[in-house]
Every structure is written in C-alpha cells, then in structure tokens.
Chain A
C-alpha cells in the first residue's frame, strides 16, 4: 500500500527566508504526487502536481517542487516566504481509483 511521510510537524521560517518542506512517499509504480495547502478554517487548495516529465514542477503562489525518484521524495520549496504563506501543507500520492493518500501535514509558521 502507498504511504506518505512528512517528517516535520511544525516549521518556523522568518519572513523573506527560503522554505523547504519535506515529503517522502512509498508507492510501487510511477507516482502521481501533489502538494496542497490549507489555510485556517478552509478546505485544501492544490499548489502543484507531478505526473511525469520534468522533475521540477512549478505551482501557484511561487511554489515549486522537485521529484527525486532515487530518494522517493517530492520536496516543496519557495525562495522567499511571505507572512500569508503561514498554513498547513499536505503532500499526497495518487493511487487506485482516483484516490489519494495524504501525509499528516506540516504546519508552517512565519515569524516577522
């Protein structure tokens, strides 16, 4: 069965600093990988997705992620964090009949 690990429960980053959120997956076939963001009191919004091809994918809000098959990783990055990026971030792997398996999430705190 597929699984997703987000090793960091919380991360605090200073505004303007760079950000990297880690995601490792376990899946037997070619993975379909996603990053979602959840602002307080809201549902999940898709940031970006990877299916095939270029291993560096660009998303909304200035985010990007890099797929590394050898490390089973799909880390999310942003060069300069804004206070409005404070939210919870979920990595997910697609499997089966359009179902997704989510990681447990990483809460991003942005300090002034």
Chain B
C-alpha cells in the first residue's frame, strides 16, 4: 500500500521564520504535489514535481518554494512565514508511467500555525 508520510502533524512557527515541511513517499512515484487546504476554498495546488530536481508552479506558488533532491522526498519551504500562511498543508504523490488517470495518494497533512 502506498504510504505518504508528512514529518509533522502540527507545527507552530513565528512570523518571519523559515519553515520546512517534509514529505516522503515509499512507492517510487515520479510525481509529488503540495497543496494547501483552507475552509471554504478546498485544496489549492502550490507546487508539484515530476522528477528529481524538477518543479512546476501550481496555482498559488507565491511565498513558497520547493526542493526535490531525492525521488522519495519533496520539501515545501516558506522562506519568511507570514500569518496568512496558517493553513493545513497536504502532500500527495502519483506515478507518471500512465497519463493523468493515475490517482494521487495523500499524506495526513500538516496543520501549520504562524503566530
């Protein structure tokens, strides 16, 4: 069974800090995704990666960056955290050997609070 693990379930940081959210998948998937989830807004794609060292902007990349140095790990970075980045962050992965019809597998999420 696919396992997507996010390093923290809850995280509290201060405004201006550099914040790292880590995600690891164990199924050798090529694609990895970062979303943020806010009440009434659903899931919005921040960044995704389809290969090591590759990244693509999603719908709301401002204020975020990502890193994919190894295939199994995809990190989301808040360069200088702000209170409007308080949210639930979800990581997902999927294989790329088939077209878009391969479903994404999600981690349990990190609830991040910026004070």
- Chain B residues 18 to 50 lying within 8 A of chain A, measured CB to CB, are 31, 33, 40-45, 48, 50
| B-contacting 9-mer, from A64-72, A73-81, A98-106 | A98-106
- Given the complex, which residues of B lie within 8 Å of A44, measured CB to CB? 43, 90, 92, 106
Q: Is there a chain B Cβ closer than 8 Å to A95's Cβ?
A: yes
Q: Is there a chain B Cβ closer than 8 Å to A26's Cβ?
A: no
Q: In the complex the two chains form, is B42's CB within 8 Å of A45's CB?
A: no
Chain A residue with the shortest CB-CB distance to B103: A46
Q: If A42-B109, A43-B109, A98-B31 touch, does A104 touch B104 (CB 8 Å cutoff)?
A: no
By the criterion of a CB under 8 Å from any partner CB, how many residues of chain A are at the interface?
25
What distance in Å separates the Cβ of B12 from its nearest Cβ neighbour in chain A?
17
Chain B 85-106: CB-based contact to A (< 8 A → 1; otherwise 0): 0000010101010011111111
Q: If A32-B100, A43-B106, A104-B42 touch, does A98 touch B94 (CB 8 Å cutoff)?
A: yes
- How far is A98 from B93 in the complex, measured between Cα atoms in Å? 10
- How far is A103 from B103 in the complex, measured between Cα atoms in Å? 16
Q: In the complex the two chains form, is A103's CB within 8 Å of B42's CB?
A: yes
Of B31, B41, B92, B96, which is within 8 A of A104 by CB?
A: B41
Chain B residue with the shortest CB-CB distance to A104: B42
Q: In the complex the two chains form, is A99's CB within 8 Å of B58's CB?
A: yes
- How far is A105 from B40 in the complex, measured between Cα atoms in Å? 7
What distance in Å separates the Cβ of A76 from its nearest Cβ neighbour in chain B?
15
Q: In the complex the two chains form, is A98's CB within 8 Å of B90's CB?
A: no
- Given the complex, which residues of A lie within 8 Å of B109, measured CB to CB? 41-43
Q: In the complex the two chains form, is A42's CB within 8 Å of B108's CB?
A: yes
Q: Which of A43, A49, A94, A105 counts the most chain B CB atoms within 10 A?
A: A43
- Given the complex, which residues of A lie within 8 Å of B102, measured CB to CB? 98
What distance in Å separates the Cβ of A44 from its nearest Cβ neighbour in chain B?
4
Q: If A90-B42, A102-B43 touch, does A95 touch B100 (CB 8 Å cutoff)?
A: yes
Can you sample 6 A-B contacts with CB below 8 Å? A32-B101, A51-B101, A99-B45, A100-B104, A102-B44, A104-B42
